[in-house]
Amino acid sequence: MTTQLPFKITNSNAAPPSLTSTSFQLTANPSTDIWRTPVPVEANRFNAPILYKLIPLSSFRRARVTVSASWTTEYDQGGLVFVFPHTKRWIKSGIEFFQDQLFVSTVVTDRGADMSLVQTGLRGNKVTLEARSENGALWIYVVDAEKTVPIREISWALCGGEEEEVWVGVSAARPDACEGREEALVVDFEGFELEVV
């Protein structure tokens, strides 16, 4: 079944959007991010706005969204997010503006974060992403017209115990300052779906 809203919002002064449809926006101020690295200088940032629903991990089946924005600043990003609050791990997959190009990035973290970048399925400034539970693993796909292109398998993501809960939703971030300006990044999300059992 597809779950209904309301969702919760974190790391934002704004109230959750009035979600009478599956399309909405998140606004990310400069210097917001979801990132962790142990080297060269340890960093652990978790201050990006996240719109999420807390669900039992074992109930997750699928999440899907189309994400777009006016991506202009290095590391501008938005997309699907999974947060495992008890283990302080997270996964995010969406558009990321890197070296003046748009990529679909997937970042997975444990002690540190690792990032993969692909340039598939982008249509102008937007992409449709789908995350699925398949054979005990979490698979991330780019939906490109009538086909789905697998871009990442995270084998540990769905291996929690019966009681484990996970945040599933979307996030937006603008890690770098916008050349001294304080302009926020507004990310559009369309057709959000979260399927659970």
Residue 145 has pLDDT above 90, yes or no: no
Query: Looking at the domain assignment, is residue 13 inside a domain?
Result: no
Q: What is the pTM of this model?
A: 0.91
Query: Looking at the domain assignment, is residue 15 inside a domain?
Result: no
Query: Looking at the domain assignment, is residue 11 inside a domain?
Result: no
Report the CATH number at residue 151: 2.60.120.200
Query: Looking at the domain assignment, is residue 12 inside a domain?
Result: no
- Range(s) of the domain holding residue 56: 23-196
Residue 187 has pLDDT above 60, yes or no: yes
Specify the number of domains making up the chain: 1
Residue 190 has pLDDT above 60, yes or no: yes
Query: Looking at the domain assignment, is residue 18 inside a domain?
Result: no
Query: Looking at the domain assignment, is residue 66 inside a domain?
Result: yes
- CB of 172 within 8 A of CB of 101? no
What is the pairing mode between strands 50-56 and 165-173? antiparallel
Q: How far apart are CA 41 and CA 15, in angstroms?
A: 34
Span 47-62, mean pLDDT?
95
Q: Measured in Å, how far apart are the chain's first and last C-alpha atoms?
A: 6
Query: Looking at the domain assignment, is residue 113 inside a domain?
Result: yes
Query: Looking at the domain assignment, is residue 93 inside a domain?
Result: yes
18-32, 63-77, 109-123, 125-139, range with the lowest pLDDT: 18-32
Kind and range of the H or E element at 83? strand 77-84
Span 154-160, mean pLDDT?
92
Encode pLDDT of 60-79 as tens digits.
Answer: 999 999 999 999 999 999 99
- Complete DSSP assignment for 149-167: EEEEEETTTT---TT-EEE
